[in-house]
Amino acid sequence: MTRQQLRRHALRATLIAPTSLGGAVAMILSVVFIALAVAIEAWPIYQLAMASLRSGRALAPPLELIAPSLITVAALTAAVVTLSLRLGIKRLEQLKD
């Protein structure tokens, strides 16, 4: 292959895969986090809907049903944000050196 053919081939490769492995992993982990948060918050609502269907009347959500899932998601969110910021700062400091 000539040098110009290699350049064209490399350009096509960058157009096909515009992300790095780290970017793909970050996107996958983001989707996993969102799915986990939705599942945690949806479970009490599902329980409430099933109770309402069984009794035939709408029930006000009791705090003890809703609060644990909200606290869990808040803690999960805080942990993910803290971890990602620490990893990002650590990586930036490594690049600076």
Instruction: Spell out the domain ranges in the chain.
Output: 20-96
pTM as predicted: 0.67
Instruction: Give 10-residue mean pLDDT values along the chain (97 residues).
Output: 69 60 84 95 88 80 86 96 92 85
Q: Which pLDDT score is estimated for 49?
A: 86
pLDDT at 11: 61
pLDDT at 15: 56
Rounded CA-CA distance 14/47 in Å is: 48
b (16+ CB within 10 A) / e for 37-60: beebeeebeeebeeeeeeeeeeee
The terminus-to-terminus CA distance of the chain in angstroms comes to: 38
